[in-house]
Amino acid sequence: MKLGRAALGLVLLAPLAVQAVEPISLGLALAGVLTGYISYPRLYCLFAECCSQKRSLSRNALQKDLDSKLFGQHLAKKVILNAVSGFISNPKPKKPLTLSLHGWTGTGKNFVSKIIAENIYEGGLNSDYVHLFVATLHFPHVSNITLYKDQLQSWIRGNVSACARSIFIFDEMDKMHAGLIDAIKPYLDYYDNLDGVSYQKAIFIFLSNAGAERITDVALDFWRSGKQREEIKLRDMEHALSVSAFNKKNSGFWHSSLIDRNLIDYFVPFLPLEYKHLKMCIRVEMQSRGYEVDEDIVSRVAEEMTFFPKEERVFSDKGCKTVFTKLDYYYDD
């Protein structure tokens, strides 16, 4: 579409400059211009998104985004920052980067995927080189699993052929039919190339609720012991996460070769959010809408949320996911 608009512009402007040229000569001239436009990538990339024009990822910019937009997730921030910046800066990675993000709804998994995409491609999630799959939307019927496998392989192969630094995001892994994700196992392995295509610079991100119970148990134990959540280490739960995902029946990672073959680079826990974290989310959302932060409204919105366990009311059961719609009530025009 962008190419068409640019070509149309050339067609409209050309007669003004070459009024004395014969129609046939003008047609040949325009054909030559369009051929050159398509043939030279730099010229084409002035009007359309190009893989070669991906952003040069800045570690500082990524850290700034994580610090200012993601709350209560010290483990995720550290892992994502080091994993993504280290991978992008490596000119010859041995395999694609694979991240598996785990936690309850509203804790920031989708938001982190968005931040990663925006720091690599200007279009973020809307970039032609970022591909989002939602299990219940794109792979709804278990009877079609063989077809889905073929389609998934073809889609990944085609897109990586077009852009080596493609990003693939798989949401709702806990709802995906078991065995389906194993179709992409060869693309995540340590191969220089498969049938002439190298997948080593691609990024695969998996989002799942699997293991959320274990994450909550650890966070609650720390809270009850009077310890700060920032004292939780990745080693306290990373192995448990991989085991939980591997053993969760009727889910995408159940007995998956991706886990069995150690092809997931990082299992990243997203901790349940506390009251103070909800208030941080609300303040940022107010600012993004152009409103002055009103602490009274911030508190009222946060207090409308529900928390668990029932007696202690420590963690929000929906994270920051619904605070935005609740905020609408106070700014309804």
106 in a labelled binding site: yes
35 in a known ligand binding site: no
Distances (CA, A) of 241 to 48, 123, 198, 224: 41, 32, 29, 21
The pair of structure tokens assigned to 47 is: 């009007």
Average pLDDT, the chain: 89
Per-residue pLDDT, 32: 58
Task: Look up tokens 């500082």; give the residue.
Answer: 60
To the question of whether residue 325 is assigned a binding role by annotation, the answer is: no
Q: Cβ distance 29 to 18 under 8 Å?
A: yes
Structure confidence at residue 327 (pLDDT): 87
Confidence of residue 50 (pLDDT cuts 50, 70, 90): confident
- Give CA–CA dist 309/228, Å, rounded: 18
Q: How far is CA 109 from the centre of its chain?
A: 8
Per DSSP, helices labelled H in the chain are 2-17, 23-39, 41-44, 59-69, 74-89, 109-120, 135-138, 145-162, 185-188, 212-224, 238-247, 257-260, 275-288, 295-303, 323-330
Domain boundaries, the chain: 59-270, 275-331
105 annotated as belonging to a binding site for a ligand: yes
> Which pLDDT score is estimated for 52?
73
* For residues 36-42, average pLDDT: 56
Contact indicator for 209, 241 with CB cutoff of 8 Å: no
Work out the pLDDT band at 42, boundaries 50, 70, 90: low
Position 150 scores a pLDDT of 98
Q: Which pLDDT band holds residue 225 (cuts at 50, 70, 90)?
A: very high
- Band of residue 48 on the pLDDT scale cut at 50, 70, 90: confident
The pTM of the full predicted model, rounded to 2 decimals, is 0.86
Task: Give me the amino acid identity at 90.
Answer: N
Is 136 annotated to bind ligand?
no
Mean pLDDT in residue range 199-225: 96
Which pLDDT belongs to residue 16?
A: 42
Q: Please check the confidence at residue 194 and state whether its pLDDT lies above 70.
A: yes
Q: What percent of the chain has pLDDT over 90?
A: 77
Is 110 flagged in the annotation as binding? Answer: yes
User: Which secondary-structure segment (H or E) carries 100?
Assistant: strand 97-102
Q: State the Cα–Cα distance between residues 327 and 332, nearest whole angstrom.
A: 9
108 among annotated binding-site residues: yes
| Range name among 58-62, 161-165, 328-332 with the lowest pLDDT average | 328-332
DSSP H or E run through 307: strand 307-308
Has 326 been labeled as part of a binding site? no
Which tens digit of pLDDT belongs to each residue from 84-106? 999 999 999 999 999 999 999 99
Residue 62's pLDDT is: 97
Report the C-alpha gap between 201 and 267 in whole angstroms.
Answer: 19
Which one is the CATH code of 59-270: 1.10.8.350, 1.10.260.40, 3.40.50.300, 3.20.20.300?
3.40.50.300
CA-CA distance, 57 to 66, in Å (whole number)? 14
